Each structure stands twice: as structure tokens, then as C-alpha cells.
Amino acid sequence: MSWPGLTTIDRIAECEGDTLGGEQMKISEGLNIISTGWIRKPKGFRVRFHKPTETGFKVGYSPPLDDAPMASDVTARRYAWKLWQATQKEVEANSPEAIYNIVVVDDLDRPFPSYATGELERYNPNNFDGRNEKKAKKDDGTD
């Protein structure tokens, strides 16, 4: 069925017989639904990374797990980006000081996607299987 000139919302409303007097929700009701677990707000952010060892790698965090996390994912993402920029020479030389798999994680240690792209960003990717993955794409740092 076609409704020329009507938007998708208009078509949905017409199908349901909805008018301005239809079902409504106050903002406070919507916020209550959100606060009960539909959307979880992380309690902080850290940058997780891997450093090579003689037997494989060790996992590190910045700030350390004993310190307070960063309050903003934007701050954590910018910090991760700067770590990536600062460790390029070490990674290219396979130095023991290299930092790999730099990623922003939430308070549950889950990688946290970028709000701007919705994608997970991992800098200096390495599977520690003898071959490095493709280097992370260059970024202009305007997260």
C-alpha cells in the first residue's frame, strides 16, 4: 500500500489509528525505564594494553586498577590515541618497550566503542602469534 507524500511516522500513525491523543510517555517515565537497566552507564574508563614478555605478553591498565578510573570515555580515547602515537617507533622495531592492543575499556573491562563511529578502536593490534595485524588507521586526533 502506498501513501504518497506521507512520512514513515505518518504511515505508522495512520495504520494504528493514532492521533495526538494516542499513547504518550512523560520524560520521567522514559528515564525510569532507562535507569532500570535498559542502558547501562559505565562507572569509569581505563586504557588496556599488552606489553611483550619473554613468554608472551602481559596485560596492563592505565590508570592502574587500584587508582580511580577516568570519568570520560572521550578523555580515555584521546589518551589511548596519544599512547599509540608515542609508541610507533617501538612497535616498528619490535622493542620490548612497545605497547600493543591499546583499547578503551569500561569498568567491567569490556572494550568500549567510540560514540562517533560506534566501532571499537584498537591501536597497535597484535595477536602475538608471530605476525602483527594491519596497523591501526591513521587518525587526526579529533575524537
pLDDT at 78: 96
Residues 6+ apart with CB under 8 A from 121: 77, 80, 103, 104, 113, 114, 136
Count other Cβ atoms within 10 Å, centred on residue 23. 6
Give the span between the Cα atoms of 138 and 32, in whole angstroms. Answer: 41
pLDDT at 37: 67
pLDDT at 35: 77
Count other Cβ atoms within 10 Å, centred on residue 43. 10
Residues 6+ apart with CB under 8 A from 109: 48
pLDDT at 90: 93
β-sheet bridge partners, residue 126 = 132
Question: pLDDT tens digit string along 19-56?
Answer: 556 678 899 988 888 777 666 789 999 999 999 888 88
Taking 50 as the pLDDT cut, the residues of the chain under it are 134-135, 137-143
pLDDT at 143: 40
Residue 102 exposure: Cα atoms within 13 Å on the Cβ side: 23
Judge whether 79 and 62 are in contact, CB under 8 Å: yes
